[in-house]
Structure 1
Amino acid sequence: MTQTFPPFGNPAVAATYESFPPPLREGLLTVRKLIFATAAETPGVGTLEETLKWGQPAYLTPETKSGSTIRLGLPKQGGFALYAHCQTTIIPDFRSLFPDAFHYEGNRAVHFKEGAALPLDPLRLLVRSALTYHLK
């Protein structure tokens, strides 16, 4: 696997990323890096835990319990997705800010097409919202 930042601390997570098709893996690794960078620059988040939930890479805030779990995966429709807990307002709040800029799956996910440019600034808002959800 190519060098990633931050390095994987969990071999099972690393193996899961390695199993993703290369074009989708690149997009998922970009979102992973954004999650870690956003956590590092956001007060109150603390250290992230990177683990697997339902076989998907998942990001939690166990130190501060500031956030709701973020998962990354491959939806059946193709492409890749960022998932938030469906009983939170994370995705609906984001959709109210960017109603037509993304493809949404109800209250649970934002989908991305393979090879499409990722709008990192809006995604940073989504990630920050999830990582600080319990601080509201």
Structure 2
Amino acid sequence: MDVGVDNIFSSYPEVAKSKLMRLRELIYIIAQEQNLGGVEESLKWGEPSYNVISGSPIRLGFKGSSCYLFFHCQTKLVSTFRELHSQSLAFEGNRAIILNSKKSLPEYPIKECIKLALTYHNVKRLPLLGV
């Protein structure tokens, strides 16, 4: 893990840290399952960011009592996520999925959203990103 990213994770409360570490783990698992190559881990705007060649970056954050998955606001990602998963996920505008750090992670929809972000450049022209 990048030293700067490790320092950021260490600064979070334990309940948020465990959820964000699970999101990080899912990013790496999905990248491997989809044969997307190496995941670039870095800090963007002071938050952990993850990207692969075929994808759109995913940034992880924590504010208040919520964990966030941030996506590039000029993509169709969050609008597609909203259409597919509005019953199980909460959103902030066209840029983020919001997760209560104290509630269990809704893994199925989150994994699908991560997969769409990591494969975005391959599916961005498809209706509903090919789902």
**Contact kept? 2:88, 2:106, Cα under 8 Å:** no
Aligned partner letter, 2:93 = G
Which residue matches 1:11?
3
Equivalent residue for 1:96, pick from 77, 83, 97: 83
Q: Normalising by structure 1, what TM-score? A: 0.86
CA distance in 1 between counterparts of 2:55 and 2:21 reads: 20
Q: Normalising by structure 2, what TM-score? A: 0.90
CA distance in 2 between counterparts of 1:87 and 1:98 reads: 19
Which residue matches 2:69?
82
**Contact kept? 2:88, 2:109, Cα under 8 Å:** no
CA distance in 1 between counterparts of 2:27 and 2:107 reads: 11
Cα distance per residue 1:69-101 (max 9 Å; x no partner):
0000013x5311101001001111011011121
CA distance in 1 between counterparts of 2:88 and 2:110 reads: 11
- 1:68 aligns to 2:60 (yes or no): no
| SS of the residue 1:57 aligns to | strand
Which residue matches 1:38?
30
The Cα RMSD (Å) is 1.0
- 1:53 aligns to 2:41 (yes or no): no
The CA deviation at 1:135 is 1.0
Where is the helix percentage greater, Structure 1 or Structure 2?
A: 2
Aligned length: 123
Cα distance per residue 1:35-66 (max 9 Å; x no partner):
110111013x21001100000000011xxx20
CA distance in 1 between counterparts of 2:67 and 2:101 reads: 7
Runs (4+) of structure 1 exceeding 2 A deviation are none
CA distance in 1 between counterparts of 2:73 and 2:47 reads: 16
- 1:20 aligns to 2:12 (yes or no): yes
Structure 1 segments unaligned to the other structure (5+ residues): 1-7
Which residue matches 1:5?
none
